[in-house]
Amino acid sequence: MGTLRPEEVPLGNALPPYKTTTLQTMLNDSRPPTLRSELRRGFNAYNLSVSAGTAAVVGLALYALTSSGAIPDHLGRAPWVAAAIGALATFLSIAVFHAAIHAYFGWRFQRGMQALARSELRKAEKFLKVYEWPGMDHYDPDGHARAALLKCRSG
C-alpha cells in the first residue's frame, strides 16, 4: 500500500476520491438482503459475543443474588447451577430472537424485491414499506430495499 498524496488525505469523515462510491455502484457490488443472508448476520460473531456478554452479566447477577439469599434457589443446588442455567437461557433467548428478527426482515425485503421484479408494485410496496420505520437501515445496510421502495413509488 502506498501513501496518500496531500490532495487525497480525507478531511473529517470525507473519503479519498478513489474510495467514494455512488449508491448505484454500491448496489451493483453488494447483494440485497434475503432471509438466509439476514439469518447469517443475526448469528454472526459480533452478535453472538454481545449475547454472550449479556448472558455473563445475568449469570453473575443470579449467582450473587442466589448465594446471598436475596432470591430463593428453587433448584436446590449450588448457586452456580442457577447462575449457569440463567445465563444459558439468556444467551439462547437473545441470540435466537435477534437472528429471527433479522431473518424476518430479510424475508420481507426479499419478497418485496421479488414482487418488484415481477412488476407487482402494490405487493412490493406492502413488503417494503416497513423500511420507513426508524432503524430499518440496520437490516438493509447497502440500501437495496430502500432503492426498491423508491422504485415502487416512482412507478
Would you kindly state where each structural domain of the chain is located, as residue ranges? 32-154
Q: At what angle do helices 144-154 and 79-117 cross, to 10 degrees?
A: 40
Global confidence as pTM: 0.70
Cβ atoms of residues 95 and 87 within 8 Å: no
pLDDT digits (tens, 9 = 90+) for 27-72: 445 788 889 999 899 899 999 999 999 999 999 999 999 999 898 8
